[in-house]
Amino acid sequence: MPWFAYAVAAVALALLLLDRLRSRRRDEQFRNLVDHSPAAVVVFDESTVLYANHRVIDIVGDGDAEAVIGRRIDEVLAPETAELASASFRTIQESAEPLSVKDFAVAGRTGRVIRCDLVMVPTEYMGASAVQCAFTPVDEKHAALLALRETEERFRRFFDELPLPMYRTRLDGTIVHANQALATMLGVADRNELVGVNASSFYADPKERARLAAIQVDEGLLENQISALETADGRAIWVRDSSHTIVDGGVEIFEGALADVTREQEFNDELRRRAVRQQTLAEIAQLALREIDAFSVLSDAPARVCDVLDAECVLIAQQQPGRGLITTAVAYRVDSVRERERLLRYVQSHVNEIPDDDQPQRLPGESYPGGEDLQGVAIALTGPQEAYGVIAAAGRGFAPSDGDQDSLAATAAILGSAVSRSRARAKLDQLMRSKDEFVASVSHELRTPLTVVAGLALELEQGWRTFSPEEMAEFITLIADQSREMGDLIEDLLVAARADIGKVPLFNETVDLRSCVDQVVASCSLGDRARITVTGGGIAGHADPIRCRQIIRNLITNAIRYGGPHIRVSVVENGGEALLTVFDDGVGVSDANRERIFTAYERGHEAGAGVPGSVGLGLSVSRQLTELMGGSISYRYDGGSLFEVRLPLQTVTAG
C-alpha cells in the first residue's frame, strides 16, 4: 500500500477519534446538567433507556438511576406508558418538533402511578438520535402553585395589615387595591370602598395625579413627591408619595405608599409665612423711614398686609377732629365690586372707634350669603403719646394665626410711628413758618405805631415851646393811643407764638364779663366809644380776666375797623353758658371767608378809609384763647356781622 494511503487512513482515524471525544464531552456536559435538574429526566430511543437522573426513581419506584440505564422501556414502565414513550419517539423523529402531554398517568413496574406533565424534545445522545423527556408531577406543580398562592396571601395580609398607607393603582389612576391604613388616611370607613375609585378625586389639584403618573412612566419610579389631598371627610392633608411599577397578570400597576406629612408641611409653611411677614415688615419700615409724608406709607401698607395675612380686605382709618374715624386707605383681594362694598361695610360698621389697648381685637362675626361668615381683627395705630387711628383686616372665614396677629400689631406700631414722625415733622415745619411769620409781622406791623410815636416825640422835643396846651394834650393822646395799640399788637403776637407750641399761660377764675366789656370800651377813643352800645350784665364766666379783655378788645377793634357805624355788645346767659356777642351793622364777611378769618394772618376784607389795617391775628388769637378756656367762638351774619363767644358760666356772688 502506498505511504500516502496510510497517511489518509491515519487522518481519518484521528478525526473519528476527535469526533468521539467531542461527543463524549458533550454527553458529559449534558449528564451534568440533567443530574442537577429538579425534574425527572429520561433519555431514550425507540426501545431502550439511554440515560436517567436520580429523580426518575420517584417515577418508576424501583432501584436507582444506574439500574435503569440500558434497560428496555417496557421493563421500566408499565406497558401503556412504555407504548406512549415508543410512539412519541417515532412522532418526534418524524416531526423534529417538541411534544408535550398534560396530566398523563405514568406507571412504573411496581404499580405506582403518578400523574405528570410530560415535555419531550428531540436530542442526540452517544452519537445517536434520542428523545429527552422531562416528567413534572402534577402534585408537585400543584404544591408549587399552592406555595405561590400562600406567599401571595401572606404578602396580601402584610399589605393589608401594614400601618403604612399603601395602594395599587392602574396607570389611569383607578385604585385596584388599598389597605385599611390608606382608607383611614383618606377618611373612608372601609378599604374596599376605595377599589374602583380614581385616585385623582382625592387630589386638591386633579392634574397633580397625571403629573406624578407621567414621572413614574418615564422613570419607572416615584420618590418622595409631596402633594396636597382632600379627604372624603373634608380634611386637607399633605402626603409624601413613593411608588414603583410592577406587572400583575400582565398589566402594569403602580404600587406605592403614602406618608402623612401635614404637620411637617404646616411647619414649613409657617416658616415661609414668617419669612414673608418679616420681609413685609422690613419693607414697610424702610418706606416709613424713607418717606417724609406718612400718607404714602399708609396708602401702600394695606395691599402688602392683604397678601401676608391672606385677608380679603385691609383698611386703615384715621382719627379726624370732629369727624371720628375716617377711612383713608383700603386694599382688597377680591374683584367683585359688590363683594368689596360688603367687606367695607362690615369693617366700617364694627370699627367706629379706636381700641383701648394696643392688642388685636376680634371683630364680631357676620353671616355671608353662600359662604363662610365674615371675620375680622383690628388694632390701634398708636404713637408715643396718642392713638392716631386703626388698621383692620377681614374676610370670609378669616382666621389669622397668632403669628399673623403679631405681624399686624408690628405693622400698626410701624405705621403709628410713621404718623407720629410725620406729624412731628409737620409741626416742626409749622413752628418754623410761625417763627418766620412772627418775625416778619413784628418787623412790619410794629413799624407803623413806632414811627408815629417816634415822630410825635421828636416834634414835642424840638417844638414844645411853640405848642399850645391843647396841642400838647393832643400830641400826648396820640402817643398814648399808638403805644396802647402797639402793646395790644405785641400781646397778640406773643399769644400766637405761644399757642403754636402750647405754652399760653392761663389763670382761670370767676370773672364779671360786663366789667371786662366796660374796661375795654373805656380804653377806646371818644369817637369809637360813641359808636358802641353795651347791654346786659350780672353774668360771670369761669375764665382768665386778662384773656377775656384781650378777646373783647380784638372783637370790638375788628368791628371798628371793618364793621358798620353802629356796634352792639351784650352779655347774657344762654343755655347754661355765658354768652358775649359783638354785633355791627356792616356788610359782613362772605361765605367763603367765614372760617378763614379765624386763621392767623388772614383778613376777610380790607379796612375802611382812614382806618389802619391789622396783621390778621386778632380773631385767630381770640379763638385760640376761647377754646383754651373751655369755650367757643363763632361768626354768622344776621343783618350784620355777629360774633358769639361762649364761656363756662359761673354765678357772681354779691359783695
| pLDDT at residue 414, rounded to an integer | 82
Tell me the mean pLDDT in the region 450-470: 78
Q: Region 508-515: what's the mean pLDDT? A: 90
Q: Which residues contact 280 (CB under 8 A, 6 or more apart)?
A: 304, 305, 307, 308, 407, 411
Of 36-50, 163-177, 496-510, give the lowest mean pLDDT range.
496-510
Region for 408 from its dihedrals, namely left if φ exceeds 0, alpha if ψ lies in -120 to 50, beta otherwise: alpha
pLDDT band at 231 (very low <50, low <70, confident <90, very high): very high
Task: List pLDDT tens digits, range 408-421.
Answer: 888 888 888 888 88
Q: Do 178 and 164 contact (CB within 8 A), yes or no?
A: no
pLDDT at 609 over 50: no
Strand ranges for 138-187 from DSSP E: 166-169, 175-178
For residue range 263-305, list pLDDT tens digits in order: 888 888 878 877 877 787 777 777 777 766 777 778 888 888 8
If pLDDT is split at 50, 70 and 90, which confidence band does 496 have?
low
Q: Average pLDDT in the 52-75 region?
A: 73
Over residues 516-532, mean pLDDT: 86
Neighbours of 525 (CB within 10 A): 10
pLDDT level of residue 151 (50, 70, 90 thresholds): low
Helix (H, G, I), strand (E, B) or coil at 188: coil
CA dist., res. 398 & res. 411, Å (int): 18
* Predicted confidence band of residue 644 (pLDDT cuts 50, 70, 90): very high
Average pLDDT score over residue span 486-501: 69
Residue 453: what are its φ and ψ, rounded to 5°?
-60, -45
Angle of helix 545-562 versus helix 469-500 axis, rounded to 10: 110
Angle in degrees, 0-180, between the axes of helices 262-290 and 402-445, rounded to the nearest 10: 0
316-371: per-residue pLDDT in tens?
Answer: 888 887 788 888 888 888 888 988 898 889 988 888 888 877 788 888 888 887 77
pLDDT over 90 (residue 632): yes
| Res 533: pLDDT | 93
Chain position carrying cell 406587572: 247
Least-confidence region, from 433-437, 517-521, 553-557: 433-437
Q: What is the mean pLDDT of the chain?
A: 80
**Nearest 5°: CA angle at 561, between 556 and 563?**
75
Contact 49, 76 (CB under 8 A): yes
For β-strands 387-396 and 313-320, DSSP reports them as antiparallel
Q: Is the pLDDT of residue 21 over 70?
A: no
pLDDT (tens digit per residue) in 549-580? 889 988 998 898 888 899 999 999 998 899 99
Q: All domains of the chain, ordered by start, with CATH?
A: 37-142 (3.30.450.20), 162-260 (3.30.450.20), 269-426 (3.30.450.40), 506-648 (3.30.565.10)
R_g of the chain computed on alpha carbons: 57
**Of 23-37, 38-52, 81-95, 614-628, where does mean pLDDT reach its minimum?**
23-37
- Is pLDDT larger for residue 226 or for residue 81? 226
Where is pLDDT greater, at 423 or 184?
184
pLDDT tens digits for 71-130? 887 777 777 777 877 888 788 888 888 888 877 777 665 666 777 778 888 888 877 888
The pLDDT value recorded for residue 149 is 66
Q: How far apart are CA 465 and CA 458, in angstroms?
A: 13
Q: What percent of the chain has pLDDT over 70?
A: 82
| Average pLDDT value for residue range 237-261 | 87
Q: How far apart are the first and last CA of the chain?
A: 186
With CA atoms as reference, report the closest residue to 570 among 521, 627, 637, 517. Answer: 517
Of 634 and 463, the structure prediction assigns the larger pLDDT to 634
CA distance 197 to 210: 15
